[in-house]
Homo-oligomer: A and B are copies of this chain.
Amino acid sequence: MDTPAVVVDLDVVEANLTAMAGEMRSRGIALRPHAKTHKSIELARMQVAAGAVGITVGTIGEAEVFAAGGIRDIFVAYPVGPFGEKAARLRALADACDLSVGFDSVAGMAAVAAAVRGVARPPRLVLEIDSGGHRTGVAPGLAGAVALECRAAGSVAGLEVVGVFTHAGHGYAGPDARDDAAEQEAAALGEAAASLVAAGIRVSVVSAGSTPTALRSARGAVTEERPGTYIFGDAIQVRLGSMDVGAVALTVAATVVSTAVDGQFVVDAGAKILSKDTAAYVDGYGVILGWPDARLVRTYDYHGVAEVPSGSARPAVGEMVSIMPNHVCPVVNLVDELVMVRSRKVVGRWPVDARGRNG
């Protein structure tokens, strides 16, 4: 195998898809996985085949790729705008799939309305709620008032507000954060949904989602979950306790290229494949499997530098190692293909169809 390469164990992927779909089915919660993690049409099809109602994406560009790949039901869980050239793209997208999009402002809703006016099936609009991550979304108590104001701006295109969604990004704050984050997600969505109902808006979508919180939502609190990372796993999920290390399906294969400096070895996987993603509760830039004493403490564009304690063994120049990335989403976005394996044998190379579709 030529390195560096992103290697995906298809057996583990299948187990992850089946497990999450089963959990959601047993709770009566719709599963709408976030496809930004894998950006692969084939993997999205597998998710739908395993029971997902459709997929979630982060950008219009991702939605275009998956719609062209035959995925019917797509939710752009993002305040899409759409401004500038995106207006025409959103209009075409509404014709190409069953589309839902997020919004959290009158300006955003007005832009969607201007873009899709007159289309056969206008997208469903879902109001984003801030459940404590303080990124995007309105405060739960304001949801009804904002939804009414936005609905007025969208009425010109017959747009309907169908519900609320949130992402508890603060579930990534640390290993103890996800229980509280899941509770806050459910509470914020409950308050927001009630606020919409009080404003006379019928609520059919109550959507939450992240891998750390997906299995913690109380039954009945949400209609839908949108985890993404669960398909592959990564070091952050393992450290958070939301996935076992055995459920990690994706690794970066790398080759040792230098041991010239004492106390370390250098691999050919740097920031341009591992990304610079890290967190306070993980160590360095990834976990080098099979070398528990090695710490991947520095990455440069094409170098990963692993320190080893004085006197410890280190792999030789030319030896291959496998690295579990900290955060898998940016890693997938840095390569054109995934090397698919079963029982350590290569069974295919799958394109990262939506790589780089940032907007």
Contact = CB atoms under 8 A, between A and B. Distances in A.
- Count identical subunits in the complex: 2
A223 to B, nearest CB: 22
A242 interface: no
Nearest to A356: B336
B277 A271 contact: yes
Given A81-B268, A83-B318, 11 more contacts: A4-B359, A58-B302, A79-B260, A79-B266, A105-B317, A136-B257, A136-B303, A268-B358, A268-B359, A271-B275, A334-B358
A84 to B, nearest CB: 6
Interface in A316-335: 316-318, 329-330, 333-335
Contact of A335 (B3, B36, B356): B356
A318 B107 contact: yes
A359 B252 CA distance: 12
Interface stretch (A18-26, A41-49, A127-135, A188-196): A127-135
A84 B2 contact: yes
A330 to B, nearest CB: 6
Contacts of A356: 272, 334-336
Given A4-B358, A318-B83, A105 B266 contact: no
Contact of A298 (B81, B135, B329): B135
Per DSSP, are chain A's interface residues mostly helix, strand or loop, or mixed? loop
A134 B2 CA distance: 26
A227 B180 CA distance: 49
Interface residues of A, number: 66
A40 to B, nearest CB: 16
Interface of A: 1-5, 36, 58-59, 78-81, 83-86, 89, 104-105, 107-108, 111, 128, 130, 134-138, 169, 255, 257-261, 264, 266, 268-273, 275-278, 298, 300-303, 305, 316-318, 329-330, 333-336, 356, 358-359
B134 A261 contact: yes
Given A3-B359, A258-B79, A272-B358, A317 B84 contact: no
